Every structure is written in structure tokens, then in C-alpha cells.
Amino acid sequence: MLKIDHVKKVFRGPEGPINAVDTVSLRISSGEVTAIHGPSGCGKTTLLLMAGTLLHPTEGSVAIADHDVYKCSSEKQASLRGTQIGLVFQRFHLVPYLSVVENIRAASVGDTQSIDPDRCEQLLETLNLGHRRSHLPSALSTGERQRTVVARALVNEPQLLLADEPTGNLDERNADLVMSTMRNFAGRGGAVLAVSHDPRATEYADISLGMDEGRIVENG
């Protein structure tokens, strides 16, 4: 589902170039959860952004469902994000003037009527958000915002789920809830790549990888 080949990302720093991601290759398959763990600043989020068509690599290629995404037009990349990729952002990016249910429905490309209302309701209940459906993000706890972002990422039934620190803002009970939801998504044929410094994220993974200083350093 996701093929990352010899990807590098180099940023310019005040003391010279910084290799944020240094020659990483990965295969993320349908039906599997892959977790990458490592300390802050090791390149996990940069790798995830490149996988999600949001950050152009300095070198290497990224393919999603056989589309070489950085050879595609910006319109095609946007279409892939809207129809085949679910993104869980560490900083949420919820629309402040929309309710929980409206934020979830905002994942639709173009017409919010294309959202399956049953799927939306299922995610609200699964992620324990039903009682918060009409609340604005400002009225939510950090954990509730996190779960809203997960629901938004899954409501379109994407093929690939990319999650940045999906359990970082959650207590143990809600972390298990989110990870089991992602595990169930993979069980229905989805592919999951989650990056985190939280070891709980690896407990639900089929494949666990370590990352340090921009490189994959170990398999678990």
C-alpha cells in the first residue's frame, strides 16, 4: 500500500545541513499495523509527512497504491489525501468553529453529504464521543480532541492511516481505545503507519521499528 524507497530529507540549519531523514526504505502492507518509535527529534514526524504527501523529500520516492506521489500533480496529491489517506495530526488541526460531528464530517472531499452517516455515528460511539458530538473543540479535553482527530481520519474509510503520536495525549484507557480502533481498521484491510515515542503504540503493532538520528535502527 505504501512504498518508501531511499528517502532523505535535508534541512538547512545555521551550522550546515541537517539530515532529518537519512535514506529510509519501508513497505507498509494492507492488513498490518507498523509502529515506529524513537525519541523526539529523530525524524519520525518528518517521515510521516513525506508519506502523507505533505513534505517533498530531498531524495527518494514515495508510492501510495502504485502512485509515485511526488511525480503526481498537486491536484492528484490532494485527491489521494482526501480519498485514500487518513491523517492523525499531533497538533489536531480541528476547525475551531465546527462541532465534533462537523469536524469529523469535514474530512469529506467537496460534499459533506458523501459521508456515510452510519459510519460517522459508529466512530462517535466507538471513540466515546457521542456525548460530545455538538461541542466545539474549545470545550473538549485534550484527549477528546485527539479522539476526534482519529474519527475524522477514519470516517472516509481510507486505505492508509498515518498517525503522529496517536496516544501521546491519552490516558491508558483511551490509548487502548484508540489503538484497538486502529487495529480493527487494519483488520478490515487497511494499512497503518503510526509514529510515537510512547511504547504503548507498539503493543498493537504487527511490525515495530526503531528510529534514531533519521535512520531505522532496529526491528522489534
**What is d(CA 120, CA 104) in angstroms, rounded to the nearest whole number?**
7
The DSSP H or E segment spanning 17 is: strand 16-28
Q: How many other CB atoms are found less than 10 A from the CB of residue 71?
A: 10
The strand pairing partners of 11, in sequence order, are: 18
Average pLDDT estimate for 164-175: 87
**What is d(CA 37, CA 51) in angstroms, rounded to the nearest whole number?**
16
pLDDT value for 219: 59
102-118 per-position pLDDT tens digit: 999 987 655 445 678 88
pLDDT value for 114: 62
**What is d(CA 177, CA 47) in angstroms, rounded to the nearest whole number?**
25
Q: How many other CB atoms are found less than 10 A from the CB of residue 18?
A: 14
> Is 15's pLDDT higher than 90?
no
131-158 per-position pLDDT tens digit: 999 999 999 999 999 999 999 999 999 9
User: Per-residue b/e over 122-155, b at no fewer than 16 CB within 10 Å?
Assistant: ebbebbebeebbeebbeebeebbbbbbbbbbbbb
pLDDT value for 220: 47
Which pLDDT band, with edges at 50, 70 and 90, does 33 fall under? very high
Q: If phi over 0 gives left and psi between -120 and 50 gives alpha, with beta otherwise, what is residue 93?
A: left
62-95 per-position pLDDT tens digit: 999 888 999 999 898 888 888 899 999 888 899 9
> Is 7's pLDDT higher than 50?
yes
Average pLDDT estimate for 4-15: 92
Q: Which residue has the cell 491523517?
A: 87
CATH architecture of the domain with residue range 2-219: 3-Layer(aba) Sandwich (3.40)
pLDDT value for 2: 95
Q: What is the pTM of this model?
A: 0.91
